[in-house]
Chains A and B, each alone.
Chain A
């Protein structure tokens, strides 16, 4: 599906992956997570192949895929508690704070099944924030977000990148951010 792709992301930098439908953007992101193993080539983190440093690499990354990976029967806070808790010992106050930063503090104790698609996306971003990961791998993070939500997402990305983080973002539209960014256009 993907051939001859080579890329590097540095601290304080965002790589925007764009391209037509079916170009392999999500595939590239899944390869970057280590979920998908490339037939040729590989992925390296801090100069070492992730095949040899998988747990360390996984602790350093936060991945938000197309699927929200939220359980409708659990509250937003419980969803964060159970998933973030596998990576680091976060307190409930911290998780509530992350939900507040993404504008869904009022939904913390509601079952996710009653939330709108946009609110769910914000809960997913709260999970990314709560993971305190250095590397963000985001697949269409602006999907389902209204204008305020998109502005919030841009601000979160700016804060993360300007704070020394790295981000690999798949998005259809141009990203208008006050942060260092490069664009990788995949051909269909």
Chain B
């Protein structure tokens, strides 16, 4: 055994393969615990169903409130699963092993966050048309609503990764996580609900969607490094 032996080129693992492996692992874990997968979705469906029941039976009022209700419910249900983004791995020692895997922490954060979005945000986007029908949102506004929600939930996952990284070592970190993430999510709510509102009224929602896209690019560029720095502090 040669101590100074470099890792052979053909056996070393690049960042892309490492990301695919981590995402595959996260998806396997999610699908083997379907209750964790379904919890945010059921929460989303229940909250959005409660609003029409609690309001007077005026379709126009429901339609006016629908974008706000939809986005608030989406943000809150996405937040539900964010706490466990790094916490489970930190508790069972997996985070240490990942940190010592020779891969950068930013790579690990990107893979875990994208996997988290696929099982929370993307799933939420897929069920949102059902909710939208219940909230009397016209089918013509669906495309804008789906695009806005996809961008918004992905941005929220990136913001959540920073919050989850900062609170990973705390016992009741989920409360602090909400306090960190929700204020940062306000622009998402304003422009996301605004885009859906414009689509419902038949005006162009391009401006709001562009803003959501720019926020998504901004957070996906910086959040992996910020979350990685937070995790490094937590491991130290």
Closest to A160 in B: B1
Q: Is A155 interfacial (CB 8 A cutoff)?
A: no
Chain B: interface size category: 35 or more
CA distance in complex: A152, B229 (Å): 39
A21 to chain B, nearest CB (A): 20
On whether the beta carbons of A85 and B1 are closer than 8 Å, the reply is no
Contacts of B53 in A (CB 8 A): none
- Tell whether A3 is near chain B: CB-to-CB under 8 Å: no
One of B5, B32, B97 near A83 (C-beta < 8 A): B97
Q: Which residue in chain A gives the minimum CB-CB distance to B21? A: A85
Contact of A63 among B10, B17, B33, B97 (CB under 8 A): B97
Report whether A83 and B101 are in contact in the complex, using a CB–CB cutoff of 8 Å. yes
Q: Shortest distance in angstroms between A108's beta carbon and chain B's nearest beta carbon?
A: 16
- A11–B1 CB distance below 8 A: yes
Give the residues in chain B near A78, CB-CB below 8 Å: 25, 28
The minimal Cβ–Cβ distance linking B88 to chain A, given in whole angstroms, is 8
Distance to closest chain A CB from B99 (angstroms): 6
Dominant SS among interface residues on chain A: loop
A82 to B13, CA, bound (A): 12
Does A147 touch B at the CB level, under 8 Å? no
Q: How far is the CA of A69 from the CA of B3 in the complex (A)?
A: 26
Contact A63 B29 (CB under 8 A): no
A67 to B32, CA, bound (A): 22
Verify if A119 is at the interface (C-beta below 8 Å from B). no
A68 vs B94: C-alpha distance in the bound complex, in angstroms? 8
In Å, the complex CA distance between A66 and B3 comes to: 26
CA–CA, A37 and B32, complex, Å:
36
For window 143-188 of A, CB contacts with B under 8 Å fall at 163-166
Are B96 and A35 touching (Cβ within 8 A)?
A: yes
Question: By the criterion CB–CB under 8 Å, are B92 and A163 in contact?
Answer: no
Interface-centre pick from B18, B97, B99 (highest chain A CB count, 10 A): B97
A residues lining the B interface (CB < 8 Å): 11, 33-37, 46, 55-56, 58-61, 63, 65-71, 73-74, 78, 82-83, 85-89, 134, 163-166
Report, nearest first, the 5 A-B pairs whose CB atoms are least far apart. Answer: A67-B93, A164-B1, A69-B93, A86-B101, A82-B25
Beyond A34-B100, A74-B28, list 7 extra A-B contacts (CB 8 Å): A35-B99, A36-B235, A65-B93, A67-B92, A71-B25, A82-B25, A85-B21
